Structure 1
């Protein structure tokens, strides 16, 4: 590299760092000003959207696509730490991430509204994390006007993706380091619990990985379907991952209409390219890929355990 080129690269690097530093401090100032404004105005969030579904069902893809809507403020990241700060799971004996209506405490609606306003600058926000599906009654108690977007996926593919996810505890099990249990799943291959805790999880500490994932698929979707019974149908949207694979534009156009959101040309173009630039995909996106995977026999063995809830979700056979 010539001296001139070196100086140019060094100078460019310096100004890039300056720009990042200014942006960082600018964001801090904006958040501070929004906090002051919210403390003065104290307007609670208006019709927030919560994306719910089993982990690895396609919730991130749906969340990031809805986050493109101009009407919604989005952090474009998961919010486990924030919600856990309100109701730490360690304070609840590590039993479950589920929260019910009675867990909603005075002031929490305002705390949630303030948090999302500070980070997004909007009164209406969208949120997603892989534990909220267990807490729909709690979220509905906080925000009676909330809209829920339920993402569902066929059991074979969803369980296959859960199994793959369990091999990445550094991504999906960072929250469970202090779990007061010794895990020996799959004979000790898996030693950190991933995704979420649901009532009854401790019975699977030494189970096979497919049994654990079938349990998670069943318990999460059962909780969501049960909670749906108490939600006004006008505040509920469902989107099947398979429909997104078949025709993403049509699937999201229908989902946006159900949620009362506009679907413009920007969103249409975004949907046309999402399958070529997926979020958090471990391999090629396609339907029924579990059947040709190394997990096929394992999954076949546990499919009867989830047949009931799969039928309720609209998956038959």
Structure 2
């Protein structure tokens, strides 16, 4: 059994486009941390029982019941076979040395009970981002064409991007800003519901904006929570601010969402109750609050669009099997989501 080598794995949870890659890349520089080097969607979903495709495209959700002993062990073995430390050195597969494993993919927002059964002593870091900026970034991701996870999703008129929520069929014909809002809402609502069923000392909530504004303090707090050593090699990596993550689309600007204020404003009423709940938890851990307020001036001055945004507004030719996967994994399509589709 490989369970014994994974000592208190650290799992990052977030909605898509919340900065989880930036946090992952930062924490991967911690002494004693081991990762698989990138997101785990293919590692998990290439096991048929855990595959969204084999499950009939229901969603990316996995439950505790899905983690039967045989397939759970198979997944842990897959993780073990790919482990590297911060210096890029591979884990000795003949070793029984314990590792602190860092894992992340936004799809895991729908898999907390599954992950809890897979790793019963896991710690969870929940990264949450202001809904206006986050939903705006989700829209950008859809339009970029670089985050397409299911280009040929059966029954969907468009090329699906990012994670697949339960009951996604209800989003057919919806505007892109509505789909993006739904993805933000489902991710965060599911995360907070499932985390609050765990012991409070097993999870920590972080506001993305504080990570950007106060990286030294936030990373120090995370290391203290997880029992990690913030050594000089780690602190040197962000002493001049956090570097851009590999999946950054444009230069970061916390007011970039202003250009979409007229699209975002009608969606804020849909997330108000959830934001209030999230703020209660953020307040309990001295984190900045989220807001849904959008000034009328911003709405009026936002650049109007000539037509409604739809998931297929950004039309690109079919993906070649030898071309880079649109999801941004830096793998060929045939080696990544081409296998899942």
Whether TM exceeds 0.5 here: the answer is yes
In structure 2, how many angstroms separate the alpha carbons of the residues matched to 1:42 and 1:55? 28
In the alignment, is the contact (CA less than 8 A) between 1:98 and 1:134 conserved in 2?
A: yes
Partner residue, 1:194: 161
1:182: which partner in 2?
Answer: 156
Match of 1:81 among 42, 66, 86: 42
Preserved CA contact (<8 Å) 1:238 1:255: no
1:42 Cα offset (Å)? 7.9
Tell me the TM-score normalised to structure 2 length: 0.74
Give, in angstroms, the shift of residue 182 of structure 1. 3.0
- The alpha-carbon distance between structure 1 residues 278 and 119, as it changes in their structure 2 partners (threshold 3 A), is closer
Moved more, 236-245 or 102-111: 102-111
**Candidates 183, 188, 198, aligned match of 1:231:** 198
Unmatched runs of 5 consecutive residues or more in structure 2: 84-90, 92-97, 280-289, 293-341
* RMSD of Structure 2 on Structure 1 (CA): 1.9
Of 156, 170, 185, 2:132 maps to: 156
Corresponding pairs, count? 267
Q: Is the 8 A contact 2:31 2:228 kept in 1?
A: no
**Alpha-carbon separation, structure 2, partners of 1:42 and 1:149:** 20
Compute the displacement of 1:222 (Å): 0.4
Equivalent position SS for 1:179: coil
Structure 1 position 252 matched with structure 2 position 252: no
Which has the larger share of helix?
1
Q: Distance in 2 between matches of 1:154 and 1:288?
A: 11
CA–CA separation in structure 2 for the residues paired with 1:140 and 1:42: 12
* Aligned match of 2:20: 59
Match of 1:300 among 247, 255, 265: 265
Shift of 1:44: 4.2
CA–CA distance in 2 between the matches of 1:300 and 1:247?
28
Residue 277 (structure 2) aligns with: 312
Q: Secondary structure at the match of 2:222?
A: helix
276-285 or 221-230, which moves further after superposition?
Answer: 276-285
Match of 1:267 in 2: 234
* TM-score, length-scaled by structure 1: 0.79
Q: Secondary structure at the match of 1:148?
A: strand
- 4+ aligned runs moved over 6 Å, structure 1: none
Farther-moved stretch of structure 1 (215-224 vs 94-103) = 94-103
Query: How far does residue 289 in structure 1 lie from its aligned partner after superposition?
Result: 2.6
Residue aligning to 1:49: 10
Stretches of structure 1 that go unaligned for 5 or more consecutive residues are 1-38, 184-190
Larger RCO of the pair (alpha carbons < 8 Å, separation 6+): 2
Q: Deviations over 1:118-138 (max 9, x none)?
A: 222163311111201110010
Separation of aligned partners in 1, 2:100 and 2:77: 11
